[in-house]
A = this chain, B = another copy of it.
Amino acid sequence: MAFTHAIRVGWGDCDPAKIAYTGRLPAFALEAIDAFWEHTIGAGWYAMEMDRGYGGPFVHLDLDFRAPVTPRHPLICEVAPVRLGDTSVRFRVRGRQDGTLCFEGHFVSVFSKVGVLETIPMPAEVRAALEPLVESDA
């Protein structure tokens, strides 16, 4: 069972077309990845940087939008790692409302030492936590 994170979509997330603004959707998916880290290694990006000395800057993201997101239902974001590289992790994120797939996409982040923005190998504690969670991206 992949990790899920629920987001409250509100009035302020919506544009005049009465659906969540496109620019909010990547931010929702990113929040879900932040919550994934917190759940999986006990540290979201903030604690990663402050307490553990590494960060996770992104090098890629893509999203396909399947159905509008609205405030009518919570947005359930499912996050799973689908590929572990030496220095990177590729996530798949799927957002659903009331069982309907609203968007799906991929987010690739690398690891970096705090304050340096230089890529480092994936920390061993991270790899150990992610390996059992890797899913096929079929």
Chain A residues at the B interface, C-beta cutoff of 8 Å = 8, 10-12, 14-19, 21-23, 26-27, 30-31, 34-35, 44-47, 49-50, 55, 57-65, 68, 70-72, 114, 117
Contacts and interface: CB of A to CB of B under 8 A. Distances in A.
The quantity of this chain's copies bound in the complex is 4
3 nearest A-B residue pairs (beta carbon): A62-B62, A11-B45, A23-B27
A71 B46 contact: yes
A16 B21 CA distance: 10
21 contacts: A10-B45, A11-B21, A11-B34, A11-B46, A11-B49, A12-B15, A12-B27, A12-B30, A14-B15, A14-B46, A16-B17, A16-B49, A17-B57, A18-B46, A22-B57, A22-B58, A27-B27, A44-B71, A46-B70, A47-B72, A57-B65
A47 B73 CA distance: 11
Given A12-B30, A16-B46, A60-B65, 19 more contacts: A10-B34, A12-B22, A12-B23, A12-B27, A12-B31, A14-B15, A14-B16, A16-B50, A17-B49, A17-B57, A22-B26, A22-B58, A22-B61, A23-B30, A23-B31, A26-B26, A61-B63, A62-B62, A68-B117
B35 A30 contact: no
Contacts of A45: 10-11
